[in-house]
């Protein structure tokens, strides 16, 4: 296995609201457009449902998360690639916007619950905020992390202390109306952490806006490197470890970072 390169793709799914089966079928179909040899496929935030502000429907969709993750595991195994995204999930009487990273090599799934809930919408009224920091996931010789959408606006939460991750994946439903901020924040986070950032935005539209064209991949210098398939919309890139290592060696800003301690609030 070539640990010096890793191939990443984004499927910017046009999400059908509250229809897990249709969305999972769409993912299965679009996997046929993902380049051969892809190591990680990133899906959008809440890729099986979209955003829902109806508590009974939220609970129903949360009950589907186990079946969703089972299907994702099957797709991951079939194509030999990790799959990352987020779903509605329930635990101990709370509903979370839960990111997942399924590793086909070990058969394990790592989870992260969205910490920052969007207060300009009703998300914070219906969902519970996560309390755990973004995980570091060893995968094929690389360190991967993940946050969800609005978390992107909070740089301390995203901090890569001592270069703890090489790639950050951001499943999102980020509308075109705030597209400039999305792109600039991804660029800034990549530059300040000297890591690659995968902006896995959705496509299509819903009651909250239009989403097309914002999915992209940025290298450790903040430059867009994603190549978009004109037929499927799948965005792909090959990330070179030597580029990251040389950039960190030549400009070792990570050595001067403030080592902020993120405390679990227990909320």
Catalytic residues: 45, 114, 149
- Which residue in 190, 197, 192, 84 sits closest to 139, CA to CA? 84
- The token duo for 53 is 């502000």
With left for phi above 0 and alpha for psi between -120 and 50, is residue 257 left, alpha or beta?
A: beta
Span between the terminal Cα atoms of the chain, in Å: 42
- The token duo for 182 is 């999305």
**DSSP character at residue 104:** T
- The token duo for 170 is 């951001």
């Amino acid at each position: 296995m070539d640990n010096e390169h890793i191939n990443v793709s984004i499927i910017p799914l046009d999400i059908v609201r509250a229809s897990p089966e249709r969305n999972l079928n769409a993912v299965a179909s679009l996997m046929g457009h993902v380049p051969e040899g892809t190591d990680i496929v990133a899906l959008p935030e809440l890729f099986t449902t979209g955003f829902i502000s109806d508590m009974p429907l939220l609970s129903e969709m949360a009950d589907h998360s186990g079946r969703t993750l089972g299907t994702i595991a099957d797709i991951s195994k079939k194509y030999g690639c990790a799959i990352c995204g987020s779903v509605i999930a329930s635990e101990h009487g709370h509903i979370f916007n839960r990111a997942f990273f399924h590793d086909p090599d070990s058969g394990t799934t790592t989870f992260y619950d969205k910490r920052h809930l969007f207060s300009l919408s009703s998300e914070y009224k219906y969902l519970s905020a996560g309390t755990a920091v973004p995980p570091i996931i060893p995968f094929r010789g690389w360190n991967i992390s993940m946050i969800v959408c609005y978390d992107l606006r909070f740089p301390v939460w995203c901090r890569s202390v001592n270069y703890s991750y090489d790639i950050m994946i951001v499943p999102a439903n980020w509308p075109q109306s705030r597209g400039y901020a999305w792109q600039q924040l991804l660029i800034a986070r990549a530059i300040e952490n000297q890591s690659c950032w995968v902006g896995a935005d959705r496509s299509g539209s819903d009651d909250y806006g239009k989403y097309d064209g914002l999915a992209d991949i940025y290298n450790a210098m903040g430059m867009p490197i994603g190549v978009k398939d004109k037929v499927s919309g799948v965005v792909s890139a090959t990330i070179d470890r030597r580029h990251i290592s040389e950039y960190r060696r030549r400009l070792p800003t990570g050595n001067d970072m403030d080592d902020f301690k993120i405390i679990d609030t227990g909320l």
